[in-house]
Structure 1
């Protein structure tokens, strides 16, 4: 969480600089997280998750601030909103920020860009993606506004598959030409038998994708017919 806070502060600084359209020679971040500063100063390679977030932060000077001087911690300490209304620290930050940098508190817990002895050589990050075999519907049911439209689409898919099969096994089959002609006409509405077949297919696919438990089958006294439907 503290690392993410430092990263957000870095992006906020960049945003302000871009909006002001002014070249700022030096920007300083303040954090009460000692571990973040140690990570920034470390010459050791951190794990990829941490290292990717440290890189943009390293562009700026990062200094440690004590918790009692950190206005961001005031709400986490349980200070009620009524006390924040006139709180100088909350609205203006610690007093030393209004002074020259030479008067700022001295601390060894700070990071200055380029101060590390060794140059960090990031190791390549390899990500392995393994394909997961999942059963999928012939079409996505959620994309249809009604069951009727879904069944009609299934019918047309079955017809297209039939054409492909006939063409593969017997390209010169005269029946193939007739099927294509029918498919290209606007009057090619699904027959009741085709709609029934599409409904049976959807039921079977639904039961395959979301099979009921054995307890459910027993409690509801379900059984499978000759077509293996519940």
Structure 2
């Protein structure tokens, strides 16, 4: 969106409309969602929505879902030989862009089904659950159950001392009574 906004504002050209294509149904659903999203996703979608609003104040803008196999932007990231890259659609866009919109192999974002949106939220819930489990496993001490900062410092100090003591090479200690018992046998 940043690049789209930059091109529109800096080129000085007048565009009839702006079409944004993505092969990510999840990203498209997030951008157009009214539901509460995780904070990172919310921040990113807000940036995109603000950019979309600025563009929409100048131009008509539409979002489309394009099938992955039709997304020529991905081809460069998957690697192309020098020979294949010379005449590749990545440099000039897919052939279908030269035909009328009714012949495009894309779906307007408004046609994303409820299933697609539900799938996105199932994906989000899975991520949140994974993060929650990882966070719980990462906790070494239940710090929310410790009442003061000084207690936490003491616990950490004792733990560090314990680790230091068990990692030192041990020198066998000889009990003095045992030593006296061994002297007659020497």
Q: Could you state the TM-score of these two structures normalised by the residue count of structure 1?
A: 0.39
Higher RCO (CA < 8 A, seq sep 6+): 2
Larger radius of gyration: 1
Q: Could you state the TM-score of these two structures normalised by the residue count of structure 2?
A: 0.47
Return the structure number with greater helix share. 2
